[in-house]
Structure 1
Amino acid sequence: MRALTVIAEMGSGGAERVVTDLVEHLVATGHEASVASSGGWRADALAVAGVCTLEVPLRESGPVPLARAVARLRREISARPVDVVHAHNVRATVAAHLATRVGRRVRPPLVTTVHGLADPDYRRAAQVLRVCDAVVAVSDDVADRLVRAGVDESRLHVVENAVPAPVFRPGGSDEVRRELGITATTPVVLCIARLAAPKRVDLLVDAWADVPGATLVLAGDGADRAGLELRAASLGDRVRFLGDRRDVDRLLAAADVVALPSDREGLPMAVLEAMAAGVPVVASAVGGIPQLGADVVELVDGQRPEAFAAAVRRVLEDQDRYRTLATAGREVASQRFSSSRMQSGYALVYEDVQKGRRTS
């Protein structure tokens, strides 16, 4: 099978991590795979590994970048016909649809994965997703929202996100803490998130005056960084801004808790990565996160700084609760969110759409 993946960009986000996992698996199992995106460090890494990567202007909005992206994709598909096109989220779906449908009597099936949208965007997305042979939701919550918006259930699949088994490095925690200038006894709360909506990192920053003695480490970058740095100025080095990081596994080794205060989510990779590493999670009760269970994640209802402060303190101070979350998270991650399970799920979707290939 030859598969083409289309995604806006290939940086540090969760969707990009899923794409990398799936593409590497396809290549390892004897298939051909290529990735079209606006680029990013994950695309560079795939290219070094021998995967065909195409640079297309999918990060930019507007009709002109879209037209350029469609033309580039069309040239690629004409030169190297594919058996399936896999788009991630709506903008990539539009580009993939226009590139594969216009003027083609027989066209490759189109699969789209929806990683989570703002509530008002689901209905508009459902209109676009009508062109897809299959739609994949990353959680039951996303699937329910898509159905309510009008997506045909017969074409809808749920394939939950997954993470590879963590790599444990002896002494990793001490090494990272030395790099950051944090003592071995200081509680470290890690937030792995883009510093922009809908992650609501401002809630954590505002909460931090009420979490005495702990250091908040923010791994990520984005449009809100300057404002957040101003917001955190009075807290001194109790809030650390690390920028975009490619060593999340190392940071997790040094973390006592992972916190994610998002307004909305599909099924966030940061939460799954923390669970797999045995790091307790405090997160907003949004999207697919509550479906993980209250014994797996410390859920926070309501977008209030004081609620996050109380939840973080509870996990840090209650050792029984801490151990319960760490143990349950690791078990659920290994049993339910393994890479092999996600890869098998997508293999079945690819097989299904190829059997039902339609003509235009």
Structure 2
Amino acid sequence: MRVLQVVAELGTGGAEAVVLGLAEGMASRGHRTWVASDRGWRVPLLAEVPGVDHVRVPLAPGGPVALAASAARLLAWAPGRPVDIVHAHNIRATLAAHPVARARRAPLVTTVHGLGAQDYPRAVRVLRRCSDLVVAVSDAVAEDLERAGLPKARIRVVENSVSAPAVRPDDAAHLPDLPHLPASGPIVLCAARMTAQKRQDLLLRGWAAREHRTGHLLLAGDGPERPRHEALARELGLGADVTFLGDRDDVGALLGRADLLALPSDWEGLPIGVLEALAADVPVLASAVGGLPDLDDVLALVPSDGDDRELGERWGRALDRELAGTAGQEQRQRTARGRALVDTRFSPDRMVEAYLALDEALVTSTYR
């Protein structure tokens, strides 16, 4: 099978990790794969995979100009390249991929990795017009799509997958050099792009609201909200207790230094970062959104309703609870269950085989 995957960029993010995992898994099974995206630190990783090529499209910037340029670039690339199926990740990539899918008479599959509640109606209008089949990364995302008007018959659920990080927590020789960290006290990591969705501001407010002011907060990621978060950290007087690391390609190593992963998002589908933490035996504290409540047996969850003040205080109490010495036994039990869950339910082979089954059914049927 010959597959074209389209994603906005290939930097830090769950959709980006899924694209790389699918490309590697499909290539290892003998399928020819192209990945179209803008730049990102994962692009060089594609060059290491036989049978996978990268197609540069300027899709990362917002707005119609970049979108139209990306669609035109794909149309110019397509002649002479027989593509059996086009697989877009999220709505913007779907709009860029739709013309080339129709030009090649190839089915278009869209994976929705999660959306804000206000974005589902518009997204469904695009999906109804452009996509032959829509994959939701969790039951919660599938329910939101159906509620917004996408027929259930056009939705399938394929959960994301994760491999164990390359660096394990006990592999101290390969941990990143972070000499500014305190010699003692818990390390909390938030690894996510700094966008409005991820709500690092709630984590900063929670960090300031803690009763027990020990430990260090690492914020890995970059994005449009970073200046605002840095200003908030100064306003809250957090000083040397918080480090902004910028975009990182060594999250596995950072997990090796972390005692807790925190993810305070407003919405999620099924975040790869949480699965990576579970695979690394790192406890997780996250907002109760998207597909995460389905994993409540292995996570500590923070209710997501309320105003910013209430949510910040709630995160402060949750951080105190998770970082207290008395939480150790419960956390060990959760992380043990989480690692077992990753090994069975979220294995890369399971995800790749599920997508291939959908792709093959579309290519060999009269679905359209």
Tell me whether the two structures share a fold, i.e. TM-score over 0.5: yes
1:174 touches 1:254 (CA, 8 Å); kept in 2? Answer: no
Unaligned runs of at least 5 residues, structure 2: none
Give the structure 1 partner of residue 185 of structure 2: 186
Query: What is the CA–CA distance in structure 2 between the aligned matches of 1:64 and 1:283, rounded to whole Å?
Result: 36
Query: What is the CA–CA distance in structure 1 between the aligned matches of 2:246 and 2:185, rounded to whole Å?
Result: 21
1:8-19 equivalent positions in 2, closer than 5 A: 8-19=8-19
1:275 aligns with 2:278: yes
Give the structure 1 partner of residue 122 of structure 2: 124
Query: What is the CA–CA distance in structure 2 between the aligned matches of 1:171 and 1:165, rounded to whole Å?
Result: 13
Give the structure 2 partner of residue 331 of structure 1: 340
Give the structure 2 partner of residue 32 of structure 1: 32
Percent identity at matched positions? 49
What is the CA distance between 1:122 and its match in structure 2?
0.8
- Letter matched to residue 323 of structure 2: L
Give the structure 2 partner of residue 2 of structure 1: 2
Q: Deviations over 1:149-182 (max 9, x none)?
A: 1112112110001101233457534764762432
Q: Deviations over 1:222-262 (max 9, x none)?
A: 11212212222322211011111101111111110000000
Cα 1:59–1:240 change in 2 (3 A) is same
Give the structure 1 partner of residue 146 of structure 2: 147
Instruction: Give the secondary-structure state (helix, strand or coil) at the position aligned to 2:275.
Output: helix
- Letter matched to residue 289 of structure 1: L
1:8 touches 1:92 (CA, 8 Å); kept in 2? Answer: yes
Query: What is the CA–CA distance in structure 2 between the aligned matches of 1:178 and 1:13, rounded to whole Å?
Result: 23
Q: Deviations over 1:189-238 (max 9, x none)?
A: 10011112111101111111214111111111111212212222322211
Unaligned runs of at least 5 residues, structure 1: none
Query: What is the CA–CA distance in structure 2 between the aligned matches of 1:178 and 1:348, rounded to whole Å?
Result: 43
Give the structure 2 partner of residue 197 of structure 1: 196
The alignment yields a C-alpha RMSD, in angstroms, of: 1.8
Q: Deviations over 1:261-292 (max 9, x none)?
A: 00111111111111111111000001111111
Indicate the larger mover: 315-324 or 106-115: 315-324
Query: What is the CA–CA distance in structure 2 between the aligned matches of 1:139 and 1:170, rounded to whole Å?
Result: 28
1:55-74 equivalent positions in 2, closer than 5 A: 55-74=56-75
Instruction: Give the secondary-structure state (helix, strand or coil) at the position aligned to 1:157.
Output: strand
Cα 1:342–1:358 change in 2 (3 A) is closer
TM-score (normalizing by structure 2):
0.91
Cα 1:167–1:42 change in 2 (3 A) is closer
Cα 1:93–1:314 change in 2 (3 A) is same
2:71 touches 2:97 (CA, 8 Å); kept in 1? Answer: yes
Query: What is the CA–CA distance in structure 1 between the aligned matches of 2:278 and 2:98, rounded to whole Å?
Result: 36
Query: What is the CA–CA distance in structure 1 between the aligned matches of 2:276 and 2:178, rounded to whole Å?
Result: 22
What is the CA distance between 1:64 and its match in structure 2?
3.0
1:143 touches 1:156 (CA, 8 Å); kept in 2? Answer: yes
- Letter matched to residue 107 of structure 1: R
Cα 1:326–1:174 change in 2 (3 A) is farther
Give the structure 1 partner of residue 134 of structure 2: 135
Instruction: Give the secondary-structure state (helix, strand or coil) at the position aligned to 1:81.
Output: coil
Q: Deviations over 1:114-159 (max 9, x none)?
A: 0011111111111111232211000000000001111121121100
- Letter matched to residue 43 of structure 1: V
- Letter matched to residue 146 of structure 2: V
Query: What is the CA–CA distance in structure 2 between the aligned matches of 1:67 and 1:42, rounded to whole Å?
Result: 24
What is the CA distance between 1:68 and its match in structure 2?
2.0
- Letter matched to residue 99 of structure 1: V
TM-score (normalizing by structure 1):
0.93
Cα 1:208–1:64 change in 2 (3 A) is closer
